[in-house]
Amino acid sequence: MLKLKEGVDILAAIGGVNTLREAEELFQARCDRETIEKLHRISNAEALLKIANAISMTDPDRVFVNTGSDADRKRVRIMSMAKGEERPVAMRDHTVHFDLALEQARIIDRTYYIVNPGENTSVLAKSIPRDSAHDSVGSHMAGIGKGKTLLIGFFSRGPTGAKAAIPALEITTSTYVMHSADILYRHVYRHFDEEVERAGLFFTNVHSEGPNRTEDLPEARVLMDRSWQTTYSFLCTYAGNTLLLKKGNHRFAVDLATYFRRAEELSEHMFLTGITRDGQTTFFAGAAPSGCGKTTTAMTGTDFVGDDLAQLWIADDGTLRGINPEKGIFGIVRDVNRESDPYLMKALREEGAEVIWTNVLIDVHGVPYWVGNGEELPERGVNFQGEWWHGKTDESGKPVPLSHPNARCTVDCTEIYNYNETAAEDPRGVEVRVITYSGRDSDTMPPVRVAQDPDHGVVIGASILSAATATEVGAKGVRRQPWANEPFIAGPLHDYMDAQFAFFNSDRLKRKPVMAGLNYFLTHAARGGEGKGLLGEKRDVTVWLGWLERVARGECKGIETPIGYIPTYADLKALFAEIDKPYPKELYDKQFALYVDNILASI
């Protein structure tokens, strides 16, 4: 069983700062006047000690506190350009950052949970004993900041004051990481003390890219100390490995929900989006594994709230509430085009937004391009492997793609036309009426089905399957992706499942959500046709969500089957008519026929 503040606090042990007085002496010795003044506005002793120990351990030349003011944010961007972590591209306020060719995704083979003796972790995750982690951090992070500026930011994972929002420190030598945090997270510098008080805790993240060389990558590590809710990351730059406010802290939030707030909260790898019809908005929270179209699905709603993470809780009035711990997207750009993602495309291609591009192709005019963008593509440019030209191959003779399949854009949600900022910033959260679970299942489950009861809903979540995607270095094959959250579940999966049953069956949850399975990856070949082409189109998701919205409002029920309620042909035909699309009965039969053998095999 996980215990907090158990075992050696590695950061304190290496930093050696134990009292507030020592911390103050260190600030006086190591920081300029402005930084000291900024630190003096923080009074939480634990946070000041974390900061002092991070400075002491990494030994930077300078320290910079990013309060989130316009001036500080601008300084971060200027530093990033001067340092070369980012460069400007043609459009104003757009920059590009390249990660090393061999670090284009999460380095799951070098990602570990730091554990105490006897502590269990998920069998699918890697763990490292506390004393070995202590050695590893000590030998790689002591002095890693020499010659650099250490940047410190105070963030909130969620709207200030929301029940499930948690404050966190991001401490990094990387200007790109801090710039990304500026776009993706809410600053809470001015209310940090109160927020720590309210939440009862905060998370800490310490990162340094070190020299940023390919030869150091085997030594790169992402280490997460579950007991001290502190992450350590070194010798890497990809945001999934370094901006641990995101998935590092998500893992701690999963721990909190599972072990300390059981049946009260959940922390999920889900988008949040709403559909408004006749003046009423129905909010959805939807899980999908990394690289399976979560961002695109979220943006099909009329009231977009988040594309990656959701903190859910049961409110005192018995409703299910959700917040997005983030306020920006770090989205995959492959296949983002005007047809499938009009709002995102507008934010990316029209002046006005601040955008960080990563691992795309920059052409000779400084314009970013990516595979599947629906535009004419340039013949040459610079990408994640250096100079690129059409037909370029790597050492093994394989063609080098124009952009990496995990190339991304970082942009504030307020730049997205259908973002409902009022709902997203509401500390009461949005009321979640529908939960969806989707994966990449080519041959078994229908496009949409509704669980018969909460237990069934939990099982649908537990059964998600996905093909490997480009979001993890070295991932291969189809694998189970329970709740699409498996890569971020630190503890044994049965604990997580138990927490799901306890949450959705809770007597306190008076307004039970509709729980549904979604699958838009059925192929023609799997339904008696030819080829791997998809049955239906990506944009049909609006119909599946539209049907669920009607189920949530009690306007449709569907046909009861052993795998849940499936829509009637008449209901779907009417919904397709609303998007001016014919929906032949023959296609419905293919999509909703139950392939019992496949279903049994899957069970």
Annotated catalytic sites, by residue? 292
Residues 6+ apart with CB under 8 A from 376: none
Position with the least CB separation from ligand SPV: 240
> Which stretch of DSSP H or E encloses residue 328?
strand 328-332
> Which stretch of DSSP H or E encloses residue 546?
helix 541-552
Quick one: what does residue 405 bind among Mn ion, ligand SPV, none, with the CB cut-off 5 to 8 Å set by partner type? Answer: none
Q: How many residues bind ligand SPV (CB under 6 A)?
A: 9
Q: In angstroms, rounded to a whole number, what is the distance separating the alpha carbons of residues 261 and 312?
A: 11
Q: How many residues bind Mn ion (CB under 5 A)?
A: 2
Describe the crossing of helices 541-552 and 569-578 by its angle, rounded to 10 degrees.
Answer: 120
Q: In angstroms, rounded to a whole number, what is the distance separating the alpha carbons of residues 570 and 579?
A: 15
**Residue keyed to tokens 């993602």:** 341
Residue type, 175: T
Q: In angstroms, rounded to a whole number, what is the distance separating the alpha carbons of residues 186 and 180?
A: 11
Strands 559-561 and 564-566, how do they pair? antiparallel
For the bound state, the minimum distance from the C-beta of residue 598 to Mn ion, rounded and expressed in Å, comes to 28
State yes or no: residue 106 binds ligand SPV (CB under 6 A): yes
Q: With CB under 6 A as the contact rule, which of the stretches 240-248, 397-405, 450-458, 524-532 interacts with ligand SPV?
A: 240-248
Instruction: State the binding string over 59-98 for ligand SPV (x if CB under 6 A, else -).
Output: ----------------------------------------
Q: Which long-range contacts (CB under 8 A, 24 or more apart) does 574-578 make?
A: 575/543, 575/546, 575/547, 576/540, 576/543, 578/546
State yes or no: residue 308 binds Mn ion (CB under 5 A): yes
For the bound state, the minimum distance from the C-beta of residue 469 to ligand SPV, rounded and expressed in Å, comes to 8
* Helix ranges (DSSP H) in 330-451: 342-349, 421-424
Q: Pick the binder of ligand SPV from 330, 357, 521, 565 (CB under 6 A).
A: 330
> Which stretch of DSSP H or E encloses residue 456?
helix 454-462
State yes or no: residue 471 binds ligand SPV (CB under 6 A): yes
3-state secondary structure of 178: helix
Q: Pick the binder of ligand SPV from 60, 153, 240, 446 (CB under 6 A).
A: 240
Instruction: State the binding string over 477-496 for Mn ion (x if CB under 5 A, else -).
Output: --------------------
State yes or no: residue 334 binds ligand SPV (CB under 6 A): no
Q: In angstroms, rounded to a whole number, what is the distance separating the alpha carbons of residues 423 and 221?
A: 37
For the bound state, the minimum distance from the C-beta of residue 290 to Mn ion, rounded and expressed in Å, comes to 5
For the bound state, the minimum distance from the C-beta of residue 515 to Mn ion, rounded and expressed in Å, comes to 21
Q: With CB under 6 A as the contact rule, which of the stretches 142-150, 238-246, 389-397, 441-449 interacts with ligand SPV?
A: 238-246
Q: Pick the binder of ligand SPV from 110, 247, 404, 440 (CB under 6 A).
A: 247
CA dihedral 325, 328, 334, 335 (to 10 degrees): 100
Q: In angstroms, rounded to a whole number, what is the distance separating the alpha carbons of residues 452 and 438?
A: 17
Q: Pick the binder of Mn ion from 58, 180, 233, 290 (CB under 5 A).
A: 290
Quick one: what does residue 240 bind among Mn ion, ligand SPV, none, with the CB cut-off 5 to 8 Å set by partner type? Answer: ligand SPV
What are the tokens at 472? Answer: 């993890």
State yes or no: residue 246 binds ligand SPV (CB under 6 A): yes
Position with the least CB separation from Mn ion: 308
Positions in 391-450 near ligand SPV (CB under 6 A) = none
State yes or no: residue 472 binds Mn ion (CB under 5 A): no
For the bound state, the minimum distance from the C-beta of residue 240 to Mn ion, rounded and expressed in Å, comes to 8
Instruction: State the binding string over 290-319 for ligand SPV (x if CB under 6 A, else -).
Output: x-----------------x-----------
State yes or no: residue 406 binds Mn ion (CB under 5 A): no
| Residues β-bridged to residue 222 | 111, 233
Instruction: State the binding string over 552-581 for ligand SPV (x if CB under 6 A, else -).
Output: ------------------------------
Tell me if 354 sits within 8 A of 396, measured CB to CB: no
Which class for 129: exposed (0-12), middle (13-18), buried (19 or more C-beta within 10 A)? middle
> Where does this chain bind Mn ion (CB under 5 A)?
290, 308
> Where does this chain bind ligand SPV (CB under 6 A)?
106, 239-240, 246-247, 290, 308, 330, 471
